[in-house]
Amino acid sequence: MPPFAGFWAKWFVLKELIAAGNAWLAVVAVLFSLIGAFYYLRVVKLMYFDEPQQLERGGAPPGEDVALVFSVNGLAVLALGFLPGALMSVCLSAMLVNGI
C-alpha cells in the first residue's frame, strides 16, 4: 500500500516487467498481490477491530519493548516509502560494488 516501501518495490518490478514486454506476468503479479493484500488486511482487522481473545495459560501481554520495536519498524518502512530513492541508491551502489 502506498506510501510504504513494499509498494515501491512492487511498482518498480511491475514497471520493468511491462517494459520488457511481459505484461501477462505483470497481471499475474498484480493478482497475487491482491490475494496477499486480502490476508494482510485480515490481520489488521483482527488486531484493531475484533475483540481480543483470552490469553493462553502462562501468556502475558506484550510489554512496552515490543511496542517500541514495532513502532520503530513501522516508521522505518513508512520513511522508506516516502523516500524510495535513498533505498534504491544504496541498492544500486551495492550492485555496482559486487559487479552485478
pTM metric for this prediction: 0.53
Are 71 and 64 in contact by the 8 Å Cβ rule? The answer is no
The predicted pLDDT at position 87 comes to 82
**Total domain count, the chain:** 1
pLDDT tens figures, 37-55: 898 889 888 878 888 776 6
Residue 9 binned pLDDT confidence (cut-offs 50, 70, 90): confident
Query: Vertex 87, ends 43 and 1: CA angle to 5°?
Result: 30
pLDDT tens figures, 16-26: 999 999 999 99
> Measured between alpha carbons, how far is 2 from 77 in angstroms, rounded to an integer?
11
Q: Containing domain of residue 22, as a range?
A: 5-97
Residue 84 CB contacts under 8 Å (≥ 6 apart), including other chains: 5, 8
